[in-house]
Structure 1
């Protein structure tokens, strides 16, 4: 069972692959989409959840998504067919960090996929290259709520605290025009859905050769979350505009 399969199973019972509830997603998209006929790009789109919501809410909006997972993109296509928006959605199977388009976008998203670019500021630098004048970026990444352990840093990366994260973003030439800090309920709901979906699938498919691996992944992730980083890791989404725009 590869990483994409594990991710697909793990996110089966959560509305989006990030610790955000439906209302938070709605408000962030409302702040991020500048107008009804916007062109939107998601770098690391997974199953296209953000794009599908934007398309469903704006009949003239067009969207493109980039991801390396063929399984996730196929799922996005299926859901786009179901919603009747596939004619306005283009998906690219490739490394998001290498993606190039002949046009710019009014909203560029990268939520939970900043690792593909090497971190938050590198992600914003890449997003800027795709951004049309007057456009916005919606980015989501972790931050330390308190001093992390060495194990947490090794496991998740070298984040900063919330004030330092914002200071770095502003110093890099961005102005926040919206944002959301995930609540403890959102964070816990997301992690329980992640581990619960994997465990449920494993128990429902005891004869599947991947069952033991799925159950092991759920157990390992749950233990890491509860014992290593639950009390120190937060999640932040920002809607940004270039300061000099």
Structure 2
């Protein structure tokens, strides 16, 4: 079973692919879009379009563009956009986010939990800067170390110690790169637990509901492995922060 399919099944009940609760998503989007009645948003790694579709539903005069390599996720995004009546205000591109070229700048550029697409946080911000209108905002979500990671945490994440820093250092790096945090949201342990139990539970439930599917065993194994890596490895060690940033 390929990674994109696993992720899509795992996010069936948690379409925001990050440890952020619905009410927190709504609050972040209100801050990000509330400064103007009309605007344009771009999500570089949109998946099923959860951030953009919610933004459009709340802001009837906004337009949006999403870019992602997962064709099935984009299909799902189109279905949800159609069901909510915002399909005419969103454009979805099956494309590597690094290759996307915009004709016009955007008032809001998002990348939440997908900085790996650009090779890390600062390269992601460099890419976002190329698409950002003067005075616009970037919303970026990134991991950080809540505490010094042990080997179990590193093994569970398939990470190296230097892949992340603590929250203070991460924020300092963003500021040194020429950005000002105008807001930041740190996900709670409750949000992490809900996200991880939803991720592993949705995938395991799919396997139980489709016992004769050729990928059922692989899905169940992936869910069990991920749950163990989280509970016995990085729970309470890896944090997640979502910044709203403006250029200096």
TM over 0.5, shorter chain: yes
- Is the partner of 2:226 in helix, strand or coil? helix
Instruction: Map 1:56-205 onto structure 2 (within 5 A).
Output: 56-153=57-154, 155-157=158-160, 158-205=163-210
Aligned length: 243
Residue of structure 2 in register with 1:238 after alignment: 243
Structure 2: 5+ residue runs without aligned partners? none
Residue of structure 2 in register with 1:24 after alignment: 24
State the Cα RMSD in Å: 1.0
CA–CA distance in structure 2, aligned partners of residues 106 and 228 of structure 1: 39
Residue of structure 2 in register with 1:13 after alignment: 13
Large movers: runs of 4+ above 4 Å: none
1:39–1:107 CA contact under 8 A, matched in 2:
yes
Q: Deviations over 1:180-228 (max 9, x none)?
A: 1000000000000000000011011100101000000001100111111
The Cα of 1:15 is off from its aligned counterpart by: 4.3
1:66–1:93 CA contact under 8 A, matched in 2:
yes
The Cα of 1:30 is off from its aligned counterpart by: 1.1
Give the TM-score of the pair, scaled to structure 2. 0.96
CA–CA distance in structure 1, aligned partners of residues 96 and 153 of structure 2: 27
CA–CA distance in structure 2, aligned partners of residues 236 and 156 of structure 1: 18
The Cα of 1:151 is off from its aligned counterpart by: 5.0
Structure 1: 5+ residue runs without aligned partners? none
